Amino acid sequence: MKAERIADRIAYHGEGPVWDAARGRLLMVDMLAGDVLELGDPAAAGEPRVTRHHVGSPVAAALRPRSAGGYVVATEHGFALFDDGFERERTLPDVVTDAGIRMNDGGCDPQGRFYCGTMAYDESPGAGTLYRLDPDGSTRVVLEGVGISNGLQWSADGRTAYYVDTLSGRIDAFDFDGADGAFTRRRPFAAVDPSDGFPDGLTVDAEGGVWTAFWQGGQVRRYDASGRLTAVIEVPGASRTTAAAFGGEHLDTLYITTSRQGLDDDAEPHAGSLFAVQPGVSGRPLPVFAG
């Protein structure tokens, strides 16, 4: 299958797509610009309307809707809460104190806790950490010694967490205890040949398939619950494929973000665009932050 470009070069480093079901819109980040992008009705004919919200930090890494309204956003070094119009309500104390480290990607567990992992700007192995933000505003370390902390999402029953440390060159799975938020029994879920690219953001469909974007691969791949490759979505003209999320009224459209980071101005004219495809399977509603 091939994805279709539906919005042309809207981001330098597009990342973190999430379907905002309450408002029927797609949200994503232009990460290194510190912007959240709002795309009104991306399924409508023609180029979707894009509204930018600068969140006041050089980096906007990941976001999720909040059950109380508004959004939680992982910024360069910590977390912040925003209202429905992306006006800042509360900034929490930074969890990162090293200027050479930044937040990168994350998601919510079924209990409504928000996670985001870090990476070194120079991509030093082992410099990253996975953090958890609880609904009461407290934070804690979940995992240390990470290279580039990327995709994180859960199975439908909440008992398995899928996770990508891009420098590991594979997708991992953990047993997950929702009661105390414990990640245990880490094991490889799907290995990746480096010639195919590097695993990045991921999402899970209603049948338990894990869809993973491939940086420098120009594609999104689906692995079934056993880790077997079952589908490949080509993303033409954009090798730096970063993340994917299901959206639309029936969650049957897969939206794919891409990046121009590290490219010359005249290289890959479609890099930084938003792509979409209907892969024949639907997604699941993502958990929202309970804070």
Tell me the C-alpha distance between 9 and 77, whole Å: 26
Q: Domain total for the chain?
A: 1
Q: In this structure, is residue 282 part of a structural domain?
A: no
Tell me which residue of 65, 60, 129, 72 sits closest to 96, measured CA to CA: 129
Q: What residues form DSSP beta bridges with 27?
A: 18, 38
Under 8 Å between Cβ of 63 and 27 = yes
What's the confidence (pLDDT) of residue 152?
Answer: 98
- The pLDDT tens digits for 274-286 are 999 999 999 999 9
Q: In this structure, is residue 78 part of a structural domain?
A: yes
What's the confidence (pLDDT) of residue 57?
Answer: 85
Tell me the C-alpha distance between 54 and 142, whole Å: 29
What's the confidence (pLDDT) of residue 43?
Answer: 67
Q: Model pTM?
A: 0.96
Here the CATH number for the domain that contains residue 88 is 2.120.10.30
Q: In this structure, is residue 138 part of a structural domain?
A: yes
- The pLDDT tens digits for 154-209 are 999 999 999 999 999 999 999 999 999 999 999 999 999 999 999 999 999 999 99
Q: Residue 237 region, left (φ>0) first, then alpha (ψ -120 to 50), else beta?
A: left
What's the confidence (pLDDT) of residue 40?
Answer: 80
DSSP string, 147-175: SBEEEEEE-TTSSEEEEEEGGGTEEEEEE
Q: Is the dihedral of CA 199, 142, 257, 240 positive or negative?
A: negative
Per-residue tokens: 5: 């470009």
Q: In this structure, is residue 57 part of a structural domain?
A: yes
Pick out the chain residues at pLDDT < 70.
Answer: 43-46
Q: Which residues contact 51 (CB under 8 A, 6 or more apart)?
A: 37, 38, 40
Buried b (16+ CB within 10 A) or exposed e, 121-144: eeeeeebbbbbbbbbeeebeebbe
Q: In this structure, is residue 291 part of a structural domain?
A: no
Q: In this structure, is residue 284 part of a structural domain?
A: no
What's the confidence (pLDDT) of residue 218?
Answer: 98
Q: In this structure, is residue 289 part of a structural domain?
A: no
What's the confidence (pLDDT) of residue 123?
Answer: 97
Tell me the C-alpha distance between 207 and 282, whole Å: 8
Q: Which domain holds residue 165?
A: 4-277
What's the confidence (pLDDT) of residue 202?
Answer: 98
The number of residues making up the chain comes to: 291
Q: In this structure, is residue 285 part of a structural domain?
A: no
